[in-house]
Amino acid sequence: MVHSAASLLLFLALGIAAGRAQLQQNGIAGRKSAVCVAPASPPARLEKIITQCQEEIKFALLQEALSALRETVRQRAKRDVFSGEEKRIAGCLLQCVYRKLKAVDDQGLPTGPALVEMFTEGVKDRNYYLATIQSVQSCLAKEIQERRQNPLIAKAEGYTCDVAYDMFMCVSEQIELLCGISP
């Protein structure tokens, strides 16, 4: 399960941008032409941190699995409640990456400058950089608005993992839109 979530995360983090760039080079990307050039591969530092976080999450999941084996049948029925488990795992992996990059505030939520730095590390294309800044600002504004409308949401279990995932997806999708890369 961790492997598939990690694969999903790596696909999202790197495959989208690189795949879109390759499609555009081959003339298959769609009607719009790209205005940005996405990095072809992730920075080595980010790959190392992702690997460390995968190991931490793998250990946590193994601990959770051992605890689940000790539960009663009545308690195991609660497992049906967990929908979007892979999304949560991917979000927790992202949260770990954000934390290790010191890209979170005192509440454990991603910060704008750190997100921009993470998404643009190694990027040389000015338009991609500007699209990233705009995307991060837009996505952070949405998240802050949601938190203001429902302050209790921030106290929910797994909230920081969910925000990490949602923020990553939002920024990635916004960059695609602004750069003219068709999803």
Question: Chain-wide mean pLDDT for the chain?
Answer: 76
Task: Give 64-79 pLDDT, tens digit per residue.
Answer: 765 654 554 344 444 4
According to the model, what pLDDT value does residue 136 have? 97
41 neighbors 14 (Cβ within 8 angstroms): yes
Helix, coil or strand: residue 89: helix
Task: Give 119-148 pLDDT, tens digit per residue.
Answer: 999 899 999 999 999 999 999 999 999 989
Element (H, E) at 90: helix 85-100
**Residue type, position 45, single letter:** R
Rounded to two decimals, the pTM is 0.61
Higher pLDDT, 83 or 102: 102
Give the CA-trace dihedral at 156, 160, 164, 169, to 10 degrees.
10
Domains in the chain, start-ordered, CATH in brackets?
2-179 (1.10.238)
Task: Give 42-60 pLDDT, tens digit per residue.
Answer: 788 888 888 888 888 887 7
Nearest to 84, CA basis, from 147, 24, 165: 165
Nearest to 51, CA basis, from 115, 7, 105, 19: 7
